A and B are shown apart, each in its own frame.
Chain A
């Protein structure tokens, strides 16, 4: 592996900036966070991803100091921060609603945190100007929050939370209020700023595309537990559970029984009258064990004839086509009623599409394309 790749989580010597140690958080009878341990490293752009109610916001609020763990501890640079109130933590937060002070203009909003530190006037002015430059807001410094656009407000909120140069910046659904186009631009801007300032970012989002784009590592959460913590490509290519595979992106899940046919190779019997499938897997499966085969639609090839060298091939007919512009997703119904999605890039114009509704087609994929998951 190249030594310049940023991957402190693979380095046993690296000291994490934040450590969750067996943290549990209960609200009354409801367990929001369930015995969770997690390390986040300096300069990381870490994403907490999950459906609403999974506990990701609670994690963030505990880091900011608005909630205290019921059990366990949170360490920042090796120090237990549970007793430290929010105003004494070197942690700043960018709120989902931005929480800009409506009675202060952009300049004063950014200066708000610095003033609390009694920063000398000259340094304070320099710092605010620097933040305005960083977020390209120089022209709007004297405007009130209601006089600027949503995207500008988002940048003010970012500038304000970065002004105090926190060790850790928390971003709660920072792009949720922006429209799609602006959101994509802003994602790259966020990554740029994160790199320039070298601040550790923890972002909470329910948008998996956003998490995959910006983050160095993604934690997929469900019901107060971490399902998988890994880099975006590993989360996508090697999900460790059906939940993660299903939550991230589009996927076909085929249930069947595994039988070992050689080193790391399994035969999967999955339906009456259908040929068995072949898949490789590094994890062990007992013969006859129930398993799930997860295949991404873009790894399934669609063709009119059975490809001669295909390891896995099934036949069906086109049930539906979802035309997405750049891509088309074919919903192919097999003879036993199961629907498998196959995605192809639309490199030709739509009038020259090879397949249409009710066409008999073959779907094929390689032995390594699919991920074999236990129950």
Chain B
């Protein structure tokens, strides 16, 4: 009995917070747009009995999904999102790995402080931090003022409302998700392995490539997925920092819901987005599982 309850809790959780909302969205994606509240038809009327359900099902169709393939906006947005996510993830890795490495190599007494510094930004609202970047990156922003003052540039750089700003925003926001798993992997790394590699003829650099990198790979993979999965659907950063030139599926989704009020098409976009994300999520889970097995 107790066991049944314990097993049931995560399933009830999954059902209530994922599967039920997902099926509602899936149902809306199969409906038609309507000027009504809610803004789609059909709606299920159980008072009609079995005939009502048959009537309801017969009105569902896939035309919203067909529409997604006909207008090139959508697949371009998907593609652009995946591209931006891949590039941003690589950039985050390039910035995050040295930080994680430095943290793992820092004296023991410094590590909690460094860890705190990485986590600290989470204590402020995400929106406020993105707005702060607008203040830094705009033409009259702090960055341009500083560069003009030092004389490196003579005219302000246009960074805000470009993809560069989006990358800066994503790297900044998602950096902790990259640093923490890599740091965890590097922290566990036995220092004598590096010494053994050097003892067997490796230079410092070779030891890094042949020992440190392979042994931190689970952390690298975990960090990359933790960054890439949410970035594909990212909406706030591209809409605040990216301007109209940045095409990302999260933004398209938002506009379909709130500007066009076309809930069925928006739902179809969301369903496809979820299907795209399932692949990396499954890969991520497998990586975590493999790591857990290796540690046993």
Contacts and interface: CB of A to CB of B under 8 A. Distances in A.
B202 A93 contact: no
Interface string B174-213: 0000000000000000101101111111110010001100
B294 A146 contact: yes
Interface in B199-252: 199-203, 206, 210-211, 214-215
A230 B198 CA distance: 33
Given A101-B211, A103-B215, A146-B294, A87 B203 contact: yes
Nearest to A172: B192
A95 B197 CA distance: 11
A177 to B, nearest CB: 13
Interface stretch (A28-36, A111-119, A325-333, A338-346): A111-119
A91 B198 CA distance: 11
A296 interface: no
A87 B201 contact: yes
In the complex, which range does the number of interface residues on chain B fall in? 10 to 19
Contact of A97 (B190, B197, B199, B215): B190
Nearest to B296: A146
Contacts of B199: 64-65, 86-87, 91-93, 161
A99 B201 contact: no
Given A99-B190, A102-B215, A146-B294, A116 B196 contact: no
Contacts of A85: 198
A91 B196 CA distance: 12
Contact of B192 (A99, A116, A146): A99
Contacts of B206: 116
A160 interface: yes
A56 interface: no
A102 B198 CA distance: 16
B218 to A, nearest CB: 10
Contact of B200 (A65, A102, A116): A116
A155 interface: no
B136 to A, nearest CB: 41
B195 to A, nearest CB: 6
B195 A86 contact: yes
A236 B20 CA distance: 80
Interface in A64-99: 64-66, 85-87, 91-93, 95-97, 99
A224 B201 CA distance: 29
A86 B198 contact: yes
Interface string B284-296: 0000000000100
Contacts of B211: 101
A101 B193 contact: yes
A103 B202 CA distance: 17
A217 interface: no
B190 A87 contact: no
Contact of B201 (A97, A117, A146): A117
Contacts of B200: 87, 92, 112-113, 116, 160-161, 164
Interface in B237-296: 294
Nearest to A163: B200
B202 A95 contact: no
Nearest to A116: B201
B198 to A, nearest CB: 5
A93 B196 contact: yes
B151 to A, nearest CB: 43
Contacts of B198: 66, 85-87
Nearest to B217: A103
B192 A97 contact: yes
Interface in A38-74: 64-66
Nearest to A86: B198
Nearest to A97: B192
A112 B197 contact: yes
Contacts of B192: 95-97, 99
A43 B206 CA distance: 32
Contact of A113 (B193, B201, B203, B294): B201
Nearest to B207: A87
Contacts of A64: 195, 199
Which 6 pairs from chain A and chain B are nearest by CB? A116-B201, A113-B200, A99-B196, A99-B192, A86-B198, A103-B214
26 contacts: A64-B195, A64-B199, A66-B198, A86-B199, A87-B198, A87-B199, A87-B201, A87-B202, A87-B203, A91-B199, A92-B200, A95-B192, A95-B195, A97-B192, A99-B193, A99-B196, A101-B193, A101-B215, A102-B294, A103-B214, A112-B197, A113-B200, A116-B201, A161-B199, A161-B200, A164-B201
Given A116-B206, A160-B200, 13 more contacts: A66-B198, A86-B195, A92-B200, A97-B190, A97-B192, A99-B196, A102-B215, A112-B197, A112-B200, A116-B200, A116-B201, A146-B294, A161-B199
